[in-house]
Amino acid sequence: MERSPLAATAGAFNVPLKCTPEETKHFVEPAMKEAEGSNFTGALEVVNDGLNAHPASEGLLFLRSYFCYKIADSISNELSALPQPIQPLGEGVLMVDGAMTNQMLGRFQEIVKVLGDAEEAINEILQVNPHNNEVTAFRAYIDSKLQKLGHESENMRMTFTNTPNIAGSFCVGCRKNISFDTQTVVFRKTSSTQLEVWHLPCFKQLGNKN
């Protein structure tokens, strides 16, 4: 006997989802159809429509948190496939792609927002059913994801913000101003407290001369 999409999702998380036949027919099944094609944004829109009509539905609230999580996971996978915007090159040298760092920090904020939406939906379930251990465990998982992302984005932001303050805003090679938000630059440590900053092409020229 084939399990319903709702039962399959519930089974994946070992969470008992509560939906009426009407909610299942008009919202859960269309949402799961979108999700089968990895259109989690479309699935979330269907679930949100369902919650507008049935705001206290535990099943729809859980699906909202689940699809928010899947959207965040998709963005995270996109980011992990990109080159790292801040790369240590060895011997006290750090390369920073300013444009990509800005883009990645923006995407981090998107992930944090949708995970926050997921957590909010779970908290609504727990207000109604505070002793649901499976949903509590899912919230703890999302909390851990939020903490990890917060730590990663803060480290990146601190490197991106503080390093130019130490190194100054002019390239050692060409003596021209540097746009840290848009250009790829190289920081080189010259002492325990001193940093040089170079445009990447200028730094490569230095390497060719050596």
Q: What is the pLDDT of residues 142-197, one digit of tens each?
A: 888 888 888 888 888 888 888 888 888 899 999 999 998 899 999 998 876 788 99
* 210: confidence class by pLDDT, cuts 50, 70, 90: low
Beta strands, E only, the chain: 86-90, 93-97, 184-189, 195-199
Q: Reading across the β-sheet that carries 195-199, which strands appear in turn?
A: 86-90, 93-97, 184-189, 195-199
* Strand 184-189 relative to strand 195-199, pairing: antiparallel
DSSP 180: T
Closest C-alpha among 151, 84, 140, 82 to residue 112:
151
Per-residue model confidence as pLDDT tens digits over 87-137? 998 888 999 999 999 999 899 899 989 999 999 999 998 888 888 888 888
Structurally, the chain folds into a number of domains equal to 1
Question: 33: domain range?
Answer: 5-209
The partner residues of 88 in beta bridges, in order of sequence, read 94
CA-based radius of gyration for the chain: 24
